[in-house]
Amino acid sequence: MTENKQTQLKYLSWFIGFFCLIELVNLISGRLLNQFSILPRDLSSLAFILSAPFLHANLHHFLSNIITLAVFAVLLLQYGNKHFIKVSILLILSTGILVWLFGRQAYHLGASGLVYGYFAYLVLAGWMQKRILLMIISVGVAFLYGGIIWGVLPSRPYISWESHLFGFISGLALAWLHRVK
């Protein structure tokens, strides 16, 4: 394994491991950490845009996000380690701010905003970067995961479709901003 691949594996392990650690603590505490979720336009929850993506309503919610998140993280790491960190942080911030500003009055939590951000980024960025491997990743992600696009529409009252929508929009915007000129 090359040094770069080892570094990418280390980044992925830390990234997914952090999500798992937070989930374990949240599970053991009876979901006590979920109080650090986003409540739109509530100033006391503004800082929770940083914690909400790491919190989940239940184990099923966590598992439904973590697998896709891990796959997308591996693919995003193909853009480089620093790029992965930069895009991840910007997606968390932009999605969280948009949910805080425009989301409905409900608690918003979970990694799905990040999942949708990665999805949008991966689909568009490959074409913007004009590199064959990245274009192949774009096509593969669109083909294999394209059905998740319907999650940006309101469906069930307990699902934050706003996080999905704003994550998707943020991912597209970041892909556009990071394009090769």
Please tell me the pTM assigned to this model: 0.94
In 3D space, the residue among 155, 59, 56 whose CA is nearest the CA of residue 113 turns out to be 56
Residue 51 is which amino acid? Answer: S
CB 37 within 8 A of CB 48: yes
Q: Compute the distance between CA of residue 166 and CA of residue 162 in angstroms, rounded to an integer.
A: 6
Over the stretch 51-101, which tens digit does the pLDDT of each residue have?
A: 999 999 999 999 999 999 999 999 999 999 999 999 999 999 999 999 999
How confident is residue 163, by pLDDT bands cut at 50, 70 and 90? Answer: very high
How confident is residue 179, by pLDDT bands cut at 50, 70 and 90? Answer: confident
Region 165-173: what's the mean pLDDT? Answer: 98
Q: What is the SS3 assignment for 65?
A: helix
Return the residue matching tokens 């940083």. 50
Over the stretch 129-148, which tens digit does the pLDDT of each residue have?
A: 889 999 999 999 999 999 99
**Looking at the predicted structure, is the pLDDT value of residue 36 above 80?**
yes
**Looking at the predicted structure, is the pLDDT value of residue 3 above 80?**
no
Q: Compute the distance between CA of residue 97 and CA of residue 86 in angstroms, rounded to an integer.
A: 16
Go through the domains of the chain in sequence order and give each one's CATH number.
3-177 (1.20.1540.10)
